Amino acid sequence: MAEKLISKIPDGPLAEKWTKRKSELRLVNPNNRRKLEIIVVGTGLGGASAAASLGELGYNVKVFCISDSPRRAHSIAAQGGINAAKNYQNDNDAVYRLFYDTIKGGDYRSREANVYRLAEVSAAIIDQCVAQGVPFAREYGGYLANRSFGGVQVSRTFYARGQTGQQLLLGAYAALNRQVAAGTVTSYPRHEMLDLVIVNGQAKGIIARNLVTGKLERFGAHAVVIATGGYGNTYFLSTNAMNSNGSAAWQCYKKGAFFANPCFAQIHPTCIPVHGDQQCKLTLMSESLRNDGRIWVPKKMEDVMKLRKKEIKPSQIPEEDRDYYLERRYPAFGNLVPRDVASRAAKERCDAGYGVNETGLAVFLDFADAIKRLGHQRVQERYGNLFDMYFKINNVSPWEEPMMIYPAIHYTMGGIWVDYDLQTTIPGLYAIGEANFSDHGGNRLGASALMQGLADGYFVLPVTIADYLSNKFAEPKTDINDPAFEEAEKAVQARIDKLFSIKGKKTVDSLHKKLGNIMWEYVGMARSEEGLKKAIEEIKELKKEFYEDVCVPGEQNQFNQELEKALRLEDFFEIGELMARDALNRNESCGGHFRVESQTEEGEAKRDDANYMYVAAWEYKGEDKEPELHKEPLKYEFIEVKTRNYKE
């Protein structure tokens, strides 16, 4: 099976690889594109931009989303910005530097060629979005403005207030709408993909549930693109939207697509702390806040105690009694260290007892200095909506007192394994954006998710998929009465029937919450062999409990949100188990994955390049069978692999 992991990375110098690959890729002539059908599942930045671009090229596209409109996809919640190597600031930025920062930020666990391509197309993304009417922030001269993000020393992040994801998504959604009007794209909102259909070894369609009527529907195509985002909601509490899930990707895994680096999950340092056990969702406060906000906890334990009892306000603690621990530990990058480093540092302070709220799980993010330095007006322009949001949620104004923040699950770097063309191990099945594993290694830098989603959707996939489709136009349209569709639909129906037949007493959410607790405890910010083994056992137990005692009320053939959640939770159990298994296998600390067995004396992450410089790609082997691990070695030909150092 090893031959399945052919990465198709072109030979030659790094800067010429993408050009070389593009020149090799076969084309489909415009007359023949009309004969070809492509299914795109998901309408976030990746899915919407891909569907729109493929429609513009003349393909027949069917695009699916679980929300009532493509515009609701969770890319919309990205706040801070999008990176691009424009060097508009004259701060010596370049494609190479963006590439280097991304590889280094990912702790040397991503492919050089993919990351270089990402940096290479980044500038064109900004141009495209400007042309679509995305209202990026401007300087007074009318030129595009930039800010800085974690893990870098240049200002290359473009932004639209704290709503960059929203604006970029509305741009892609507008392009999509234009194609719907042109008739090249058909949109299927409130449809959830529940299975992938494979005919003669090739991805040829999907089974989707119409979430309004509840009926199962079959859709055929010449190729299928998965753009369904990550699986962060395995943890129950995360910054993901409530309906974000890993099911579409997981069904592809179960049909033979390899799943890569599942244990690489990003824990974002600046989220609003958990307020109680009635909570179901964590809210992110943009990383852009770390440009001007300073993170601290008190130096003195007595101040911590007074804060928890609300006897003093944080602003009353004098400067000399504050521990700006990121500036202390990482002087070169200070508050702008990468997310994994910032999260672990917050955990370290809170574990040491310095957490500043009642639960002891919070640190301060303070804007007093920034307001003094920049003035109210400029801080308002940069972060106004984030300050408002914080106030609405916490009833405390960041203009007067520092924000309280704590790390939370935010993004998953792992995902479906893809080659350089973004094709999975199943011919005709592609994965883009957060759904694939390819560009962020062990840790994603801020403002790079938007960049990757749009790079894949606008500029990479529309080119690479033509190569696969170039000899498919003569084939007849996929027949949805093919036995493969029949079989897939029956299997989905059996799953649904089984869930309704259990008639237990426990709600889906209560069981999901339990899974979340196991994941956060053992597969969270610090992982150990013992804990991970425990996680695998406990998830198995919990899964048993689910199949014995879950209650799914209502019926199939109606709008039924409990059924939707139950189907997703079934997959989260299995995803969680594979995450733990992958984390157990990777006995090194690397990016967001921290194994307590592998750390330096100072408590910094210790990578093990000799043994783990590979992509772990897992192959499904069947129900209750252990998955098989395949290794794609990572070769660094163009950069020197170093220990990440944000201190000097």
Closer residue to other proteins, CB minimum distance, 279 or 470: 279
The interface with other proteins within residues 594-613 (CB under 8 A) comprises none
Beta strand 614-619 with 259-260: parallel, antiparallel or unpaired?
antiparallel
Sign (positive or negative) of CA dihedral 441, 443, 448, 453: positive
| Rounded-to-integer distance, Cα 165 and Cα 73, Å | 10
The interface with other proteins within residues 394-433 (CB under 8 A) comprises 395
Residues facing 593 on adjacent strands: 590
Contact between 476 and other proteins (CB under 8 A)?
A: no
Closer residue to other proteins, CB minimum distance, 281 or 647: 281
Kindly state the greatest CA–CA separation across the chain.
76
- Closest contact distance (angstroms) between CB of 56 and other proteins is 5
Number of amino acids touching other proteins (CB under 8 A): 82
Closer residue to other proteins, CB minimum distance, 396 or 629: 396
Classify each residue of 91-129 as buried b or exposed e, where b means 16 or more C-beta atoms within 10 Å of its C-beta: eebebbbbbbbbbbbbbbbbbbbbbbbbbbbbbebbebb
Q: In this structure, what token pair is assigned to residue 458? A: 């606008």
- Closest contact distance (angstroms) between CB of 527 and other proteins is 28
- Closest contact distance (angstroms) between CB of 369 and other proteins is 25
| Rounded-to-integer distance, Cα 532 and Cα 30, Å | 52
Sign (positive or negative) of CA dihedral 195, 200, 201, 205: negative
Binding range to other proteins, per CB under 8 A, among 176-184, 191-199, 369-377, 635-643:
176-184
Residues facing 185 on adjacent strands: 61
Catalytic, 339? Answer yes
- Closest contact distance (angstroms) between CB of 231 and other proteins is 16
Binding range to other proteins, per CB under 8 A, among 119-127, 229-237, 494-502, 606-614:
119-127
The interface with other proteins within residues 286-305 (CB under 8 A) comprises none
Closer residue to other proteins, CB minimum distance, 173 or 231: 173
- Closest contact distance (angstroms) between CB of 554 and other proteins is 6
| Of the residues 29, 561, 611, 643, which one makes contact with other proteins according to CB under 8 A | 561
- Closest contact distance (angstroms) between CB of 584 and other proteins is 32
- Closest contact distance (angstroms) between CB of 295 and other proteins is 21
Closer residue to other proteins, CB minimum distance, 405 or 535: 405
| Rounded-to-integer distance, Cα 261 and Cα 264, Å | 6
- Closest contact distance (angstroms) between CB of 142 and other proteins is 3
Closer residue to other proteins, CB minimum distance, 19 or 279: 279
Closer residue to other proteins, CB minimum distance, 179 or 478: 179
Classify each residue of 295-322 as buried b or exposed e, where b means 16 or more C-beta atoms within 10 Å of its C-beta: bbbbeeeebbebbeeeeeebeebeeeeb
Closer residue to other proteins, CB minimum distance, 118 or 341: 118
| Rounded-to-integer distance, Cα 185 and Cα 60, Å | 6
Beta strand 185-188 with 191-199: parallel, antiparallel or unpaired?
unpaired
| Rounded-to-integer distance, Cα 434 and Cα 231, Å | 9
Residue keyed to tokens 């993000």: 149
Q: In this structure, what token pair is assigned to residue 78? A: 């990205």
Contact between 160 and other proteins (CB under 8 A)?
A: yes
- Closest contact distance (angstroms) between CB of 145 and other proteins is 9
| Of the residues 1, 2, 276, 610, which one makes contact with other proteins according to CB under 8 A | 276
Q: In this structure, what token pair is assigned to residue 606? A: 């210790």
Binding range to other proteins, per CB under 8 A, among 89-97, 164-172, 191-199, 618-626:
164-172
Binding range to other proteins, per CB under 8 A, among 158-166, 256-264, 412-420, 570-578:
158-166
Residue keyed to tokens 């010429």: 16
| Rounded-to-integer distance, Cα 204 and Cα 364, Å | 51
- Residue 445: CB atoms within 10 A of its CB come to 25
| Of the residues 505, 621, 635, 647, which one makes contact with other proteins according to CB under 8 A | 505
Nearest-10 Cα torsion for 280, 285, 287, 289: -170
The interface with other proteins within residues 200-219 (CB under 8 A) comprises 212
| Of the residues 19, 186, 507, 587, which one makes contact with other proteins according to CB under 8 A | 507
Nearest CA among 355, 432, 358 for reference residue 118: 432
The three-point CA angle 330-336-342 to 5° equals 70
Sign (positive or negative) of CA dihedral 89, 93, 95, 100: negative
- Closest contact distance (angstroms) between CB of 486 and other proteins is 29
Distance of CA 467 to the CA centre of its chain: 27
Closer residue to other proteins, CB minimum distance, 141 or 622: 141
The interface with other proteins within residues 303-332 (CB under 8 A) comprises none
Amino acid at the residue 312 = I
The interface with other proteins within residues 338-397 (CB under 8 A) comprises 381, 388-389, 392-393, 395
Q: In this structure, what token pair is assigned to residue 622? A: 């069947």
3-state secondary structure of 352: coil
The interface with other proteins within residues 227-246 (CB under 8 A) comprises 241-243
The interface with other proteins within residues 71-90 (CB under 8 A) comprises 71-74, 76-77, 86, 88
The interface with other proteins within residues 5-44 (CB under 8 A) comprises none
Closer residue to other proteins, CB minimum distance, 245 or 478: 245
| Of the residues 60, 166, 261, 266, which one makes contact with other proteins according to CB under 8 A | 166
Which residues, other chains included, contact 175 with Cβ-Cβ below 8 Å and sequence gap of 6+? 48, 49, 52, 53, 56, 132
Contact between 283 and other proteins (CB under 8 A)?
A: yes
Q: What strands lie across the sheet with 185-188, from one edge to the other?
A: 185-188, 60-64, 37-41, 223-226, 429-431
Binding string, residues 611-630; x marks residues near other proteins by CB under 8 A:
--------------------
Contact between 271 and other proteins (CB under 8 A)?
A: no
The interface with other proteins within residues 37-66 (CB under 8 A) comprises 49, 52-53, 56
| Of the residues 189, 256, 334, 360, which one makes contact with other proteins according to CB under 8 A | 189
Residue keyed to tokens 């300050």: 387
| Rounded-to-integer distance, Cα 513 and Cα 569, Å | 10
The interface with other proteins within residues 127-146 (CB under 8 A) comprises 127-133, 135-144
| Rounded-to-integer distance, Cα 411 and Cα 516, Å | 15
Binding range to other proteins, per CB under 8 A, among 30-38, 67-75, 433-441, 582-590:
67-75
Nearest CA among 67, 70, 75, 72 for reference residue 191: 67
Binding range to other proteins, per CB under 8 A, among 165-173, 195-203, 467-475, 539-547:
165-173
The interface with other proteins within residues 517-556 (CB under 8 A) comprises 551, 553-554
Contact between 284 and other proteins (CB under 8 A)?
A: yes
| Of the residues 269, 462, 576, 592, which one makes contact with other proteins according to CB under 8 A | 462
Among 33, 109, 329, 339, the active-site one is 339
- Residue 217: CB atoms within 10 A of its CB come to 15
For the annotated catalytic residues, the residue numbers are: 339
